[in-house]
Chain A
Amino acid sequence: MSKANLLDRRRVVSTLLANRKDVVAIGGLGASTNDMCAAGDHARNFYLWGGMGGAAMIGLGLALAQPKLPVLVITGDGEMLMGLGSLATIGLQKPANLSIAVLDNEAYGETGGQTSHTSAAADLVGVARACGIKDSQSISTMAEVEAFAKAVHDVSAGPRFANVKIDSANLERILPIRDGTYIVNRIRGDLGFQPI
């Protein structure tokens, strides 16, 4: 299935998180959240198992609450398409510490590989840019992924958006924890917040 010139999603995500330092990372529903877990569990990983279309907005809420922390949303093309309006909301707020990386395999991999809108028509980079996210790029090489991973730590120059073309291989599922309350409270605890 996979085309030779497309990137491997696990390599992309492990590169994005390799030198993460204080990054808070949000994984969108679907394979993206599994990729994040495959790169190594972390107290600042916000795994989503639902709420499709909400990953970027969770990132915005976190980024506005913690303006000095780099916040990175890693999600899929289908999940991003469901929350396209959130790009307009983010483009308006312009949180300088928020980065969004879309893993675009042009398909709904979790549900049988049905093609998504990005396979033939929708241009997510164009949408992000037109919504006011000036730093929006299409990524097709690992060198670009590495540069983006570095840029994520600059909390004064975002928001930034990258659409990463990945191959459509269905990889072994690496399942993250799915107790949402635990996930959120672990992040809060790591940021220094007490339970209520």
Chain B
Amino acid sequence: MHARADAADTVPNWPDDIFATLQRFDVRQVPYVPDAGHSKLIQRVLDSSTMRGIPLTTEEEGVALLAGAWAGGQRGVLLMQSSGVGNCINMLSLISILRFPFLTLVTMRGEWGEFNPWQVPMGSTTQGVFELSGVQVLRASSAAEVPAVLEAAASQAYNALTPTAVLLSQRLIGAKVFTK
């Protein structure tokens, strides 16, 4: 795993805030494609007795999985990084057609202090892709914002069936460090 600047020096607590909110909303299935920014939350999920962490080979699998979970009576949340959002586009059409609760938490790359130019095109269009696909976008840029943003996102996704993506900004996560 690569080190990250900014937040990398200390283990962040905001993933615990996210986990607590997901638990309170009775989220049961947590499909994910790993990202360093999600690593603590993924570990919390894998250690949980009420949530099932489900590693995917590609992010669009997670959209379809959540549709099936809902048909079977369970809520889920999809964890991915911004580059994975592009992989989901056609499958996002299931959300409005089937009308299931959709919440995704996206760790951002290609913005704040990015070193890798290859991350920038998809990172720059992540919000636009969601909005064109009918998914509302909320953003958390600091640890202090995370609890309120998650609460709002989970509320509108699960109570009002408003498809919602939370972008966890690179400023919150810390830019990935490749050089010393």
Q: How far is the CA of A64 from the CA of B51 in the complex (A)?
A: 11
The verdict on A93 contacting chain B, using a C-beta distance below 8 Å, is yes
The verdict on B19 contacting chain A, using a C-beta distance below 8 Å, is no
* Chain B residues within 8 Å of A53, by CB: 60, 64, 91
* Chain B residues within 8 Å of A181, by CB: 97-99
Which listed residue (B52, B55, B68, B73) contacts A57, Cβ 8 A?
B68
* Chain B residues within 8 Å of A51, by CB: 64, 67, 90-91, 93-94, 97
The verdict on B14 contacting chain A, using a C-beta distance below 8 Å, is no
Q: How far is the CA of A61 from the CA of B68 in the complex (A)?
A: 4
* Chain B residues within 8 Å of A61, by CB: 29, 64-72, 74, 76
Is the CB–CB distance between A62 and B68 below 8 Å?
Answer: yes
Known interface pairs A57-B65, A58-B65, A86-B57; A50-B71 also in contact (CB < 8 Å): no
Q: How far is the CA of A89 from the CA of B98 in the complex (A)?
A: 23
- Of A61, A64, A184, which is in contact with the most chain B CB atoms at under 10 Å from its CB? A61
Q: How far is the CB of B89 from chain A (nearest CB, A)?
A: 11
The verdict on A188 contacting chain B, using a C-beta distance below 8 Å, is yes
Size class of the B contact interface (CB-based, 8 Å): 20 to 34
Is the CB–CB distance between B74 and A58 below 8 Å?
Answer: no
B73: nearest chain-A partner, CB-CB: A193
Q: How far is the CB of A69 from chain B (nearest CB, A)?
A: 8
* Chain B residues within 8 Å of A64, by CB: 29, 52, 54, 69, 72, 74
Q: How far is the CB of A124 from chain B (nearest CB, A)?
A: 16
Binary CB contact string for chain A from 56 to 73 against chain B (1 if under 8 A, 0 otherwise): 011111111110010000
The verdict on A177 contacting chain B, using a C-beta distance below 8 Å, is no
Q: How far is the CA of A158 from the CA of B143 in the complex (A)?
A: 43
Within 8 A of B (CB), among A41-91: 46, 50-55, 57-66, 69, 83, 85-86, 88-89
* Chain B residues within 8 Å of A89, by CB: 54-57, 61
Q: Give the number of residues in A that approach B within 8 Å (Cβ atoms).
A: 36
Known interface pairs A58-B64, A184-B71, A196-B161; A92-B55 also in contact (CB < 8 Å): yes
Q: How far is the CA of A91 from the CA of B69 in the complex (A)?
A: 18
What total of A-B pairs shows CB separation below 8 Å?
A: 117
* Chain A residues within 8 Å of B10, by CB: none
Known interface pairs A54-B63, A61-B64, A188-B73; A183-B29 also in contact (CB < 8 Å): no
Binary CB contact string for chain B from 66 to 87 against chain A (1 if under 8 A, 0 otherwise): 1111111110100000000000
Q: How far is the CA of A58 from the CA of B58 in the complex (A)?
A: 14
* Chain B residues within 8 Å of A187, by CB: 71
A87: nearest chain-B partner, CB-CB: B57
A51: nearest chain-B partner, CB-CB: B94
A67: nearest chain-B partner, CB-CB: B72
The verdict on A191 contacting chain B, using a C-beta distance below 8 Å, is yes
Q: How far is the CB of B133 from chain A (nearest CB, A)?
A: 13
The verdict on B28 contacting chain A, using a C-beta distance below 8 Å, is yes
The verdict on B159 contacting chain A, using a C-beta distance below 8 Å, is yes
Within 8 A of A (CB), among B24-58: 28-29, 52, 54-58
Q: Which residues of B contact A (CB under 8 A)?
A: 28-29, 52, 54-58, 60-74, 76, 90-91, 93-94, 97-100, 159, 161
Q: Which residues of A contact B (CB under 8 A)?
A: 24, 26, 46, 50-55, 57-66, 69, 83, 85-86, 88-89, 92-93, 180-181, 183-184, 187-188, 191, 193, 196
Give the 4 A-B residue pairs with the shortest CB-CB distance, closest first: A61-B68, A65-B72, A85-B57, A54-B64
Selected A-B contacts with CB under 8 Å, 7 pairs: A24-B72, A61-B72, A65-B74, A85-B58, A181-B97, A184-B99, A191-B72
